[in-house]
Amino acid sequence: MKLRTKAWLVSQGLLIVTAIIIQFTFHREIQVGPILGTPTRDYWDIILKEEPIIPPSLIDQNISAKFYDARLEMTSEQVLARNLVAHRRAVRQEKGIRVALTGGFIVNILYFFAFHLLYFYFKRSVVRKNIPTPN
């Protein structure tokens, strides 16, 4: 196996492990779901933007969604009055997980090009100086 391949596998592996740790840490910090009285949603439900399940008790009572759905636009005062502070935070955290995953993909793509460009540059510099390189 060439040195370039080994370096690529090690560095890419470290990036992927870091991204996985970030994702699971963010997910573990979510305490509740985006709907009043719901538990934390599964990781893949968040990533795939699955609609949260509205508790049947809220549907049976015919309550307007603005009183239990923290995903709707509302002011800070409305959030406090409706007791949706934790659920509103969960909505922001779920968005954060999706953004972090997208950012991880973008960083890996950028790193792919940067790694190969830098490897080409350093190898060319070493060849110009006539320093023997390991394969």
Q: Per-residue pLDDT tens, the chain, 135 aa: give them.
A: 888 888 888 989 998 999 999 999 999 999 999 998 899 999 999 999 999 999 888 888 888 888 999 999 999 999 999 999 999 999 999 999 999 999 999 998 999 899 889 888 888 887 787 766 666
pLDDT at position 102 is: 93
Report which of 34, 40, 44 is spatially closest to residue 101, judged by C-alpha positions: 44
pLDDT of 130? 74
Q: In the prediction, which pLDDT does 92 show?
A: 94
CA dist 111 and 82 (Å) reads 45
C-beta separation of 52 from 35 below 8 A: yes
Exposed, middle or buried by CB within 10 Å (0-12, 13-18, 19+), for 84?
Answer: buried
CA 64/CA 113 separation, integer angstroms: 50
pLDDT at 99: 94
pLDDT at 57: 86
